[in-house]
């Protein structure tokens, strides 16, 4: 069959996967967004459905002081003796921890902390023992992939943390994962930074603690030399074996906006590539060591059909699964109904590294039309509510219905670093306190409209590149958000529709 990458679109970076019976489970990073660490499941490796989050309570993760692209870094999911474990890092607080559950569809435990530094932690289970790995500096001052044995019930260290592999010399060694395959220990990692030089490398050993011999042809997977190819930034992978014995690697990557336009704003997404072990026990990955957008394979039955959702509405999305909020939201500011949303504004704006009244969907593809009806009736109050294309507090484009002392108006505002500019205002009649807002998204540009009857009135447009990671920095991607700003003032959103073209 033929499948297309990414298999999960939009800002879902750092995938980790495990298989239990006939089902695959995946987790991804969530950074400053809440709930934390989305969980997906699949029966066929290609079609994934979100089933929950690992971090759903404030007691599990501190996000109040987290800046953009801080907070919850790369998670790992593993299954042992009937129990699921997810280990991750609160990078802002420099804390590695794990949570567990016996019911993948239910709640997860309170965090269990491990006194080992670094990020991108991994758990490896063998013969009743548990080993914890991360990238960082060990107890003796040596950097690399650091390993210790822990007591799984408490997180207490049972051995010193020791560096067991320093990688192949690429910068930003990260994402360690350990596997035992055919009697050998394979240690896989990422190097080069989660940018255009990203790559996956690995080494193997006869011992869990090394020494590790690197694969002679590292990197085993990278798109760093595919100039002009849509898919870039390939790295940070996790291996899984399917029911037929085939091996696969799930990894992150990103799609740049044009062949020669090296900008990406949708975030790092989930990609899949085949892995093949040779007779010598070393493995290769992808197509000549690269991942392609379209892959032909006989490893997946022809009966498997890749499905893709093209339309997102209030009615066909789940508030608890598909939508995300910032840091620790004030629950009383949100009334989430089946066909509408009522948001209670505060004085916190989208420009603050704090907790505005905001709820958003990850943007999953370049070309889309987004529309929503927004209603205000604030009498003497001032403020605004509307749609935002949100990367972070310094990089977002807003299309809003605003109430001032002069009356109601629709505005287009661009926020690019230190430049914050209302590009156009359209005044509404004195009794008009509602508007239909429309955003048309393309690879290189967003365009902003006020719908009046059958006519869409253009307010302006802005380039997508200024919301890209190359401009904004950080590790997240664009969300399509609904927001409200204004003290004790509410806004109602109805008829939301996001349709990918």
Q: What is the mean pLDDT of each run of 10 residues along the chain (501 residues)?
A: 97 98 98 98 98 97 93 97 97 93 98 96 97 97 98 98 97 97 98 97 97 98 97 98 97 97 98 98 98 97 96 97 97 96 95 96 98 85 93 98 91 97 93 93 98 95 98 97 91 98 97
CA distance 155 to 281: 33
Look at residue 445 and tell me if it is in a domain: yes
Q: How many CB atoms lie within 10 A of CB 341?
A: 21
Is the domain of 474 the same as that of 330? yes
Which one of 138, 149, 174, 392 is the catalytic residue? 174
Is the domain of 279 the same as that of 358? no
Look at residue 319 and tell me if it is in a domain: yes
Q: Does the annotation count 318 as an active-site position? A: no
Q: Given phi > 0 = left and psi -120 to 50 = alpha, else beta, which region is 60?
A: alpha
Chosen domain end from 250, 272, 296: 296
Is the domain of 233 the same as that of 102? yes
Chosen domain end from 245, 264, 296: 296
Is the domain of 286 the same as that of 324? no
Is the domain of 70 the same as that of 103? yes
CATH of the domain at 474: 2.60.120.200
Residue 232's pLDDT is what?
98
Look at residue 458 and tell me if it is in a domain: yes
Domain span at residue 267 reads: 2-296
The DSSP call for residue 290 is B
Is the domain of 143 the same as that of 46? yes
CA distance 61 to 75: 13
Is the domain of 153 the same as that of 225? yes
| Cα 402–Cα 406–Cα 408 angle in degrees, nearest 5 | 30
Q: How many CB atoms lie within 10 A of CB 94?
A: 11
Q: State the distance between the two ends of the chain, measured CA to CA, in whole angstroms.
A: 24
CA distance 457 to 459: 6
Is the domain of 271 the same as that of 318? no
Beta carbons within 8 Å of 1's beta carbon, 6+ residues apart: 296, 297, 298, 300, 301, 302, 304
Is the domain of 347 the same as that of 415? yes
Is the domain of 350 the same as that of 273? no
Q: Compute and round to an integer the Cα radius of gyration of the chain.
A: 23
Residue 429's pLDDT is what?
87
Look at residue 303 and tell me if it is in a domain: no
Look at residue 184 and tell me if it is in a domain: yes
Residue 346's pLDDT is what?
94
User: Phi and psi for 332 in degrees, rounded to 5?
Assistant: -65, -10
Q: Does the annotation count 492 as an active-site position? A: no
Residue 330's pLDDT is what?
96
Look at residue 305 and tell me if it is in a domain: no
Q: Is 206 exposed, middle or buried (0-12, 13-18, 19+ CB in 10 A)?
A: exposed
Instruction: Tell me the sheet residues that pair with 455.
Output: 452
Look at residue 301 and tell me if it is in a domain: no
Instruction: Give the count of alpha carbons within 13 A of 434, CB side only.
Output: 9
Look at residue 36 and tell me if it is in a domain: yes
Distances (CA, A) of 389 to 5, 334, 413, 445, 482: 24, 19, 11, 12, 9
CATH of the domain at 242: 2.115.10.20
CA distance 73 to 30: 7
Closest to 189 (Cα-Cα) out of 232, 241, 135: 135
Is the domain of 247 the same as that of 327? no
CA distance 354 to 348: 7
Chosen domain end from 269, 296, 323: 296
Q: Looking at 166-222, which runs of residues are DSSP E strands?
A: 174-181, 184-191, 199-205, 213-214
Is the domain of 136 the same as that of 37? yes
Residue 380's pLDDT is what?
64
Q: Rounded to two decimals, what is the model's pTM? A: 0.97
CA distance 475 to 194: 8
Number of domains observed in the structure of the chain: 2
């Amino acid at each position: 069959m033929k499948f297309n990458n990414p298999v999960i679109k939009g800002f879902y970076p750092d995938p980790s996967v495990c298989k239990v019976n006939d089902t695959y489970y995946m987790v991804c990073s969530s950074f400053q967004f809440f709930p934390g660490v989305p969980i997906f499941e699949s029966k066929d490796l290609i079609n994934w459905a979100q089933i929950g989050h690992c971090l759903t309570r404030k007691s599990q993760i501190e996000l109040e002081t987290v800046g953009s692209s801080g907070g919850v870094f790369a998670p790992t999911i593993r299954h042992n003796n009937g129990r699921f474990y997810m280990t991750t890092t609160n990078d802002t607080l420099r804390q590695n921890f794990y949570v567990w559950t016996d019911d993948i569809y239910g709640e997860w435990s309170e965090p269990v902390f491990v006194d080992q530094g670094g990020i991108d932690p991994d758990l490896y289970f063998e013969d009743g023992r548990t080993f914890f790995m991360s990238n960082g500096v060990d107890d003796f001052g040596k950097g690399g992939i650091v390993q210790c044995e822990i007591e799984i019930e408490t997180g207490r260290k049972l051995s010193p943390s020791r560096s067991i592999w320093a990688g192949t010399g690429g910068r930003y060694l990260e994402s360690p994962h350990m596997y035992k395959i055919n009697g050998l220990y394979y240690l896989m990692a990422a190097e080069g930074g989660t940018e255009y030089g990203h790559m996956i490398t690995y080494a193997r050993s006869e011992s869990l603690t090394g020494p590790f011999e690197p694969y002679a042809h590292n990197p085993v997977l990278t798109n760093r030399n595919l100039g002009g190819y849509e898919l870039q930034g390939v790295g940070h992978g996790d291996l899984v074996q399917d029911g037929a014995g085939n091996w696969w690697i799930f990894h992150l990557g990103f799609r740049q906006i044009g062949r020669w336009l090296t900008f990406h704003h949708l975030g790092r997404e989930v990609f899949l590539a085949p892995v093949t072990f040779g007779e010598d026990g070393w493995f290769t990955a992808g197509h000549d060591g690269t991942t392609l957008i379209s892959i032909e394979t006989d490893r997946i039955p022809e009966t498997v059909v890749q499905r893709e959702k093209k339309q997102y509405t209030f009615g066909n999305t789940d508030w608890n699964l598909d939508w995300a909020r910032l840091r620790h939201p004030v629950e009383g500011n949100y009334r989430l109904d089946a066909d509408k949303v009522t948001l209670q504004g505060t004085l916190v704006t989208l420009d603050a590294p704090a907790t505005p009244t905001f709820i958003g969907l990850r943007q999953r593809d370049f070309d889309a039309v987004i529309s929503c009806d927004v209603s205000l009736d604030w009498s003497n109050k001032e403020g605004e509510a509307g749609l935002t294309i949100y990367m972070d507090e310094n990089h977002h484009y807003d299309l809003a219905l605003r109430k001032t002392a002069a009356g109601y108006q629709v505005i287009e505002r661009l926020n690019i670093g230190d430049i914050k500019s209302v590009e156009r205002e359209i005044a509404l009649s004195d009794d008009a306190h509602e508007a239909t807002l429309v955003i048309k998204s393309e690879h290189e540009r967003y365009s902003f409209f006020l719908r009046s009857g059958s006519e869409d009135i253009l307010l302006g447009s802005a380039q997508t590149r200024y919301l890209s990671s190359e401009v904004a920095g950080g590790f997240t991607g664009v969300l399509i958000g609904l927001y409200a700003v204004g003290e004790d003032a509410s806004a109602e959103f109805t008829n939301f529709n996001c349709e990918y073209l």
